[in-house]
Amino acid sequence: MILLAAILLGILAGLLLARWRKRSWAFPTLGFVWLVFVAFLPQFFAFYLPATRKHIPDSWVSAGLLVSQVLLLVFCWLNRRAPGVWLLALGLSLNFLVIAANGGFMPISPQTAGRLVPQEILQTVPPGSRFGYGKDILLQPKDTRFVWLSDRFLPPENFPYQVAFSLGDVVIATGAFWLMAAQGKPPEKSSSSI
């Protein structure tokens, strides 16, 4: 959600900046975009597709999540000269670090998870277990490696969509915003002579 909002705001900012500078705006030209789709496939089957997510063992899910992160980092490396991509890579690296250090899942504390689901549901999830069908694992802060990189941030309580996110997610969103906002191109020079 935070990534989608950053992309949309980045496009809006890019369009406004391009108009102000009397330039055209275009989507970024990136190479190896197919890597993003390949990287998303394990997450799609493990987290989003109801027909498969119930049947994939947690060990496969965690391995798929780590492979997904590595493929996205490779994509960033191959596109490292594009504006904002180094921030995308930094955010992905932070998420990879905390996920790898905590058994292949993103840690979330019971306190943070308590804002996302009712207490009756939360009490059925033992510590160290996967939280729903997502990428999170329920861990106490004292049991979490790199706790400051875990899914610990939440939008304001009155915000209509509640989701936990990490520092890495914020950095990724900032990189995506920058990538979209920086796509103004100078106007083409006229080749007509006087």
- pTM greater than 0.95 (yes/no): no
- Distance of alpha carbon 100 from alpha carbon 185, whole angstroms: 39
Of 42, 29, 109, which Cα lies nearest the Cα of 70? 42
> Would you state the structure tokens that stand for residue 141, as one six-digit string?
């802060």
- Residues 146-173: pLDDT tens digits? 999 999 999 998 988 889 999 999 999 9
- Residues 4-15: pLDDT tens digits? 999 999 999 999
Of 100, 179, 93, 177, which Cα lies nearest the Cα of 144? 100
